[in-house]
Amino acid sequence: MNGSAPDGMTRRQQTFTRVFDAPRELVWKAWTEPEQLAQWWGPRGIQTPLETIEVDLRPGGAFRMTMVSEADGTEFPTEMEFREVVEPERIVFGWEAQRGLGAGEVTVTFNDRGGKTEVIAHFDGFTTDEIMADAEIGWNGQLDKLGEWLAQGQD
Amino acid sequence: MTTAQLDSVFSALADPTRRAILTRLASGEATVTELAEPFDVTLPAISKHVKVLERAGLVERGREAQRRPCRLCPDPLREALGWLAGQSAFWEGSFDRLATHLEAIQREARR
């Protein structure tokens, strides 16, 4: 990803890998068909209704959806575009800065692992602390207490 | 916050003793001596951990000559943890549900 950090933003990269017990063609479809994306897209506690999902699977094509919080119905519209589509190996999608979220890009790689599929999602983008207010946060271990403390906005 | 600053926050958080110190400070300021009490380590060792936390901007110390109490600084921590939590929550949650979904459609296909 190109560009310098906007004010108050930090560029970070992070990689998430998971092996799924399903053939690659099936995993590819799950990522590229709106009916299937609606079943799983988004963090815990968030649903992505089918009617909000738009997938125009080609470079420059739209990749949009609105995530909805199960708890209070808060909506998180997300405007992205595909930047690279190499069936069934790789998808790159990215977005411009929106809702306090910095511009960013995710490269998703699908590796055939003998009937199973390794999915690697590589995030590269700018973030601010505002994102925390939007995120369903799973604090764990010792950081639980710190998380509560931070949520109270003490100083 | 620059990437270098964020990196220093992450490396400061990588140590269990330093995380415990931060957790203790979340309930109020404390001197280095007070911070050392629950740990089976020397005062200079705790003092060193506090210096790492100070350099990362996670802790600041009062000016009183004798006590110099340590205080937690929330902003760098909030930013670092928020960044991690946002991305992790999204991908962990999505991957969990994708696994369940793939299981379900394959079960369906076999019927």
Per-domain residue ranges for chain A?
Answer: 10-151
Q: Which residues of A touch B72 (CB under 8 A)?
A: 149
Q: Is B71 on the interface with A (CB under 8 A)?
A: no
Q: Please give the residue that has the higher pLDDT: either B8 or A47.
A: A47
Least confident residue range of A135-144, B25-34, B35-44: A135-144
**Predicted local confidence at residue A114, as pLDDT:** 94
Domain A10-151 is found in CATH 3.30.530.20: yes
Give the contacts of A146 (CB within 8 A, at least 6 positions apart).
A139, B22, B23, B26, B77, B81
- Would you tell me which CATH number, out of the four given (3.50.30.40, 3.40.50.10860, 1.10.10.10, 3.10.129.10), belongs to the domain B3-110? 1.10.10.10
Q: Is the pLDDT of residue B7 over 90?
A: no
pLDDT digits (tens, 9 = 90+) for B65-77: 778 899 988 777 7
Break chain B into its structural domains and give their ranges: 3-110
The sign one gets for the Cα dihedral A73, A37, A89, A18 is positive
- Out of B3, B26, B89, whose CB is closest to A135? B89
Find the length of chain A.
Answer: 155
**Predicted local confidence at residue B75, as pLDDT:** 77
How close is the nearest chain B Cα to the Cα of A140, in Å?
A: 10
Q: Is the pLDDT of residue A135 over 50?
A: no
The backbone torsions φ and ψ at residue A73, rounded to the nearest 5 degrees and listed phi first, read 75, 5
Q: Is the pLDDT of residue B20 over 90?
A: no
Q: Is B38 on the interface with A (CB under 8 A)?
A: no
**Predicted local confidence at residue A100, as pLDDT:** 54
Q: Which residues of B touch A41 (CB under 8 A)?
A: 94, 97
Are the beta carbons of A10 and B6 separated by less than 8 Å?
A: yes
Q: Mean pLDDT in chain B?
A: 84
Are the beta carbons of A138 and B85 separated by less than 8 Å?
A: yes
Nearest CA in chain A to B93: A43
